[in-house]
């Protein structure tokens, strides 16, 4: 595994490129989905040309494209649209669904983290005197622990940002003593920093407290110690969308339900992520079973904060000890996963 100083990064990158060369970047299913999408988009474009009245005033990305291209898009432009739509689908589904599965497993797999998230949501709902559905974007983003859990799930497990971010050098460059010729493909291997012990002590541990202080979160992001949603010009345009949806989903579940985590690993541990070529199905080794109403939740929403939750939340308000070199909350948060 890569946990260390990134010394394996070179071989991982080479393995990934080998695998892409042999298998192609995408699985046959993704390629088929791309082809299907292309067919549908082309048919819809033709239909817009033949029956513009059907779409008049439609507030959609497709209509915007149709108007901008004046109904005269050539094959290359249509291919661009198809690729953009496919990227959007992959970004939204590939990243978001995988993140949700890991996130829910980590949260439900650790009673102290679950208690902390519950306490945080309960505190916010009590403060706003409202239900989850009434929460606004800013409210959801103010759930520090919940959002830290999202960041941590992406840092440890996401496929696209961590394992496959490519760029093409538009001009010849020099970086760190290496000459990069124009046109070279550059692999930005985010896992090399995301799994580096220097920046993430006990890097394999799911430790959301790393980011619960917004100042620390922002500094680490500015220093590019994590690039979970990318950085700069190509940064994820869907981050706030993703964070608000995922926070609302997690908040709704933790307030209402208990579940049990079942994994395929010994001791029912959450398996460490894999290095190298991306495989979309690693999250499939995790299952949440025995969905049932939350214990002690009579009303289904507002309950007294359980004592373990209070402890977890007050622990979160204390600055993590920087000295130990390992997750300072590992005791409070229970078993590491």
- The token pair at 95 is 């990243």
In this complex, which beta carbon is closest to ligand HEM, that of residue 90 or of residue 305?
Answer: 90
Q: Strand pairing partners for 160?
A: none
Structure tokens at 185: 């493909």
92 belongs to the binding site for ligand HEM (CB under 6 A): yes
Region near ligand HEM per CB under 6 A, out of 122-130, 138-146, 226-234, 274-282: 226-234
Q: What is the Rg, in whole angstroms, of the alpha carbon atoms belonging to the chain?
A: 22
What residue ranges in the chain does DSSP mark as E strands?
Answer: 166-168, 173-175, 178-180, 185-187, 257-263, 286-293
Span of 8-16, 154-162, 256-264, 303-311 interacting with ligand HEM by CB under 6 A? 154-162
When asked if residue 303 is in the footprint of ligand HEM (CB under 6 A), the reply is: no
- What H or E segment, with its residue span, contains residue 125? helix 111-128
Return the range that interacts with ligand HEM (CB under 6 A); candidates 27-35, 49-57, 88-96, 114-122: 88-96
Q: Is 154 in the site for ligand HEM (CB under 6 A)?
A: yes
Give min distance, CB of 13 to ligand HEM, in A.
15
**Cβ 92 to ligand HEM, closest distance in Å?**
4
Contact assessment for residue 162 and residue 334, using Cβ atoms and an 8 Å cutoff: no
Q: Which stretch binds ligand HEM (CB under 6 A): 35-43, 87-95, 119-127, 140-148?
A: 87-95
User: Contact 99/155 with Cβ under 8 angstroms?
Assistant: no
282 forms part of the interface with ligand HEM (CB under 6 A)? no
CA angle 105, 144, 4 (to 5 degrees): 60
Q: Confirm or reject binding of residue 334 to ligand HEM (CB under 6 A).
A: no
- Determine if 89 is a binding residue for ligand HEM (CB under 6 A): no
Q: Which residue is nearest to ligand HEM (CB)?
A: 238
Spatial distance between the Cα atoms of 52 and 57, rounded to a whole number of angstroms: 10
Q: Is 224 in the site for ligand HEM (CB under 6 A)?
A: no
For residue 165, state whether it binds ligand HEM (rule: CB under 6 A).
Answer: yes
CB of 249 to ligand HEM, least distance (A): 12
Tokens in use for 282?
């690693």
How many residues comprise the chain? 337
Cα–Cα distance, 254 to 276 (Å, whole number): 33
Any contact of residue 96 with ligand HEM (CB under 6 A)?
Answer: yes
Q: Which of 6, 109, 116, 161 binds ligand HEM (CB under 6 A)?
A: 161
- Contact present, 251 and 132 (Cβ < 8 Å): yes
Q: Is 105 in the site for ligand HEM (CB under 6 A)?
A: no
Torsion angle of C-alpha atoms 150, 156, 161, 164, degrees rounded to 10: -160
Select from 13-21, 202-210, 227-235, 292-300 the region that touches ligand HEM (CB under 6 A): 227-235
Contact present, 191 and 306 (Cβ < 8 Å): no
Among 138, 116, 113, smallest CA distance to 128 is for 138
Least distance in angstroms from the C-beta of 84 to ligand HEM: 8
Which of positions 229-248 make contact with ligand HEM (CB under 6 A)?
A: 229-230, 234, 236-238, 241-242
Q: Does 16 bind ligand HEM (CB under 6 A)?
A: no
DSSP assigned state of 236 = -
Contact residues: ligand HEM, CB under 6 A: 87-88, 91-92, 95-96, 99, 154, 158, 161, 165, 228-230, 234, 236-238, 241-242
């Amino acid at each position: 595994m890569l946990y260390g100083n990134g010394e394996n990064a070179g071989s991982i990158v080479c393995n990934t490129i080998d695998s892409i060369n042999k298998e192609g970047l995408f699985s046959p299913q993704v390629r088929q989905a791309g082809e299907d999408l292309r067919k549908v988009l082309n048919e819809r474009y033709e239909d817009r040309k033949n029956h513009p009245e059907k779409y008049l005033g439609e507030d959609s990305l497709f209509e915007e494209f149709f108007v901008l291209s004046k109904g005269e898009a050539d094959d290359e432009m249509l291919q661009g649209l198809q690729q953009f739509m496919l990227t959007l689908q992959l970004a939204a589904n590939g990243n978001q669904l995988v993140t949700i599965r890991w996130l829910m497993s980590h949260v439900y797999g650790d009673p102290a983290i679950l208690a902390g998230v519950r306490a945080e949501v309960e505190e916010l709902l009590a403060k706003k005197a409202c239900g989850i559905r009434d929460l606004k974007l800013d409210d959801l983003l103010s759930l520090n622990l919940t959002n830290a859990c999202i960041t941590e799930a992406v840092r440890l497990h996401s496929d696209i940002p961590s394992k496959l971010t490519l760029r093409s050098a538009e001009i010849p460059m020099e970086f760190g003593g290496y000459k990069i010729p124009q046109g070279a493909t550059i692999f930005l291997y985010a896992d090399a920093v995301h799994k580096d012990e220097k920046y993430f002590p006990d890097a394999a541990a799911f430790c959301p407290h790393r980011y619960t202080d917004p100042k620390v979160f922002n500094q680490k992001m500015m220093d590019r110690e994590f690039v979970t949603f990318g950085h700069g010009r190509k940064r994820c345009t869907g981050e706030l969308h993703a964070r608000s949806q995922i926070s609302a989903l997690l908040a709704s579940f933790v307030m209402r339900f208990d579940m049990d985590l079942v994994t395929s690993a010994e001791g029912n541990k959450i398996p460490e992520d894999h290095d190298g070529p991306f495989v979309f199905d690693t999250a499939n080794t995790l299952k949440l079973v025995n969905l049932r109403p939350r214990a002690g939740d009579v009303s289904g929403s507002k309950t007294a904060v359980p004592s373990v939750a209070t402890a977890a939340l007050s622990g979160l308000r204390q600055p993590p000890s920087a000295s130990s070199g390992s997750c300072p909350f590992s005791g409070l948060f229970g078993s590491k996963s």
